[in-house]
Amino acid sequence: MTKSAVQVAREALAVGHQTFPAYGSPTSRHDFTQAQLFALLVLRQFLRTDYRGLVTLVAEWQELRKALGLQKVPHYSTLAYAARRLLPEAEEGGFSTTLRWSS
């Protein structure tokens, strides 16, 4: 178990690359990959903050942006929409009981 937010972000990014297609739609703006958004959502839980707080931290944390390959910081609403799309169980409050890791 690590206490490094940057390491958690790297691990979540790797899992996101294995789990999600790069973009949700061929016509999306391609500003952020789904793996990057997933990593940010994992980081949000790790840091126990809200979407706006996470955006502020990411904006001020250059090492984290570099680890995630972010050229810019997403708007907090982008993260909220991504959470509904990528983690619907978490948004309904059932994430901790319905998540099953597959190997």
Residue 36's contacts (CB-CB under 8 Å, 6 or more residues apart) are 13, 16, 68, 69, 70
Span 17-65, pLDDT tens digits: 999 999 988 888 889 999 999 999 999 999 999 999 999 999 999 999 9
pLDDT-based confidence at residue 103 (cuts at 50, 70, 90): very low
- Scanning the structure block, which residue is given the tokens 């972010």? 70
Whether the model clears a pTM of 0.85, i.e. scores above it, the answer is no
- What average pLDDT does this structure show over 84-101? 62
Where are the chain's structural domains?
5-20+30-87
The residue type found at 66 is: K
